[in-house]
Amino acid sequence: MRMHGVGARRGAWTRCCAVGLLGVVLVISWIVWAARDAAGATASPDLEDKVREIASGLRCVVCQNLSVADSPSELAREMRNLVRELVQQGKSREEIQAYFVSRYGEFVLLSPTKRGFNLLVWVLPFLAVVVGACGVYLLARRWTERREVGAPAVDPAYAERVRRDLQEREGPAGS
Amino acid sequence: MSWRKALIPLASVPLILLLAYGFRTDPKAIPSPLIRKAAPSFRMAVFDGGELSLEALRGKPVVLNFWASWCYPACYEEAPLLESTWRKYKGQGLMVVGVDIQDKEANAREFMRRFNFTFPNGPDPGSKISIDYGVYGVPETFFIDREGRITYKHVGAVTPALMDEQVQALLKGS
């Protein structure tokens, strides 16, 4: 009996430990699941990638040449949050850019749009390279032509003197 | 050839003009695309309780000022002018509204107490109103006519002369 009694107490203790352990495992699993779910809800990788992509094209208006994605400033953080909110509302990259342009002007775009007067910014560097290359080519051609064709004109008096000297030299041999 | 000699100085003229234009403009100034356009609508909680929306102010000229208690000295310089403008013109229908941005509530309340603000002021959580108005610093002031169009924007502390000129224009409806 006593033995039995001790065995029963041990059995109850074991059951208690097992139930407790199961409870702890369940609680930990639930915490892990809830944490993962919360993280997924706040920062899905796809959403964050899209936010970063859009924010990378927007200029931080209180910084020097930093994008909204890269700036640590509070306004840039708020702008990133707004971009995230607009993406979650289903707005496209173009619509979000258009919203910021309507508030801050084209200044807010890190790359100017390729239309109108802005085209000059895109075309001029290439045009300058072409014009420069043409200039270098023409200059090089002129220099080489000068060397080939432009033999120095001989002074007639000097030429006459050379001719006479030659005649004098050849005179005795020819006579 | 004389025209060839003149070519080099002539070619530098566009460059000089470009530099002259560049040096005359402030690279930090961002021209607002909102001028002469409808002021973005907003609704904000007011520090003294209740809510304020721009729609509710339609028909009244509005001076909308963005400030912060950490904005020293510009916001401290213009704060007395905002309060005196409100007191001077509220009888003629002018509304002065303050939006406190990126601030701590206790500091904002202390700022308002210091300058005896009696016109409505409210916080801008998430800087949504600020971004909607293209604000990039403090203080910035928008002058909005009775039809709800932005007529003028000033960056930095407003001077008494400028405030008077803009408010008079708003009240005349010009």
pLDDT category of residue A40 using cuts at 50, 70 and 90: very low
Alpha-carbon distance of A18 to A70, in angstroms, equals 51
What is the spatial distance between Cα A132 and Cα A91, in angstroms, rounded to a whole number? 45
Assign a CATH topology to domain B34-172. Glutaredoxin (3.40.30)
Helix (H, G, I), strand (E, B) or coil at B15: helix
Strand B51-53 versus strand B62-67 pairing type: unpaired
Question: How many Å apart are CA B5 and CA B66, to the nearest integer?
Answer: 56
For residue A104, give the nearest of B30, B126, B127 by CB distance.
B30
Confidence (pLDDT) at A5: 45
Taking contacts as CB-CB distances below 8 angstroms, the residues of chain B near A101 are 33
Q: Does A66 touch chain B (CB under 8 A)?
A: no
pTM of the model: 0.71
Smallest Cβ–Cβ distance between A107 and the set B30, B133, B137 belongs to B30
The residue in chain A having the minimum alpha-carbon distance to the alpha carbon of residue B33 is: A105
Name the residue among B129, B152, B157 with its Cα closest to residue B142: B152
B41 reaches A (C-beta below 8 A):
no
Task: List pLDDT tens digits, range B12-59.
Answer: 888 898 888 888 877 777 889 999 999 999 999 999 999 999 999 999
Q: How far is CA A163 from the centre of its chain?
A: 74
pLDDT 10s digits, B70-117: 999 999 999 999 999 999 999 999 999 999 999 999 999 999 999 999
Beta-carbon contacts of residue B92 (< 8 Å; ≥ 6 apart): B171
Closest by CA position to B130, among listed A69, A73, A72? A73
Nearest CA in chain B to A74: B102
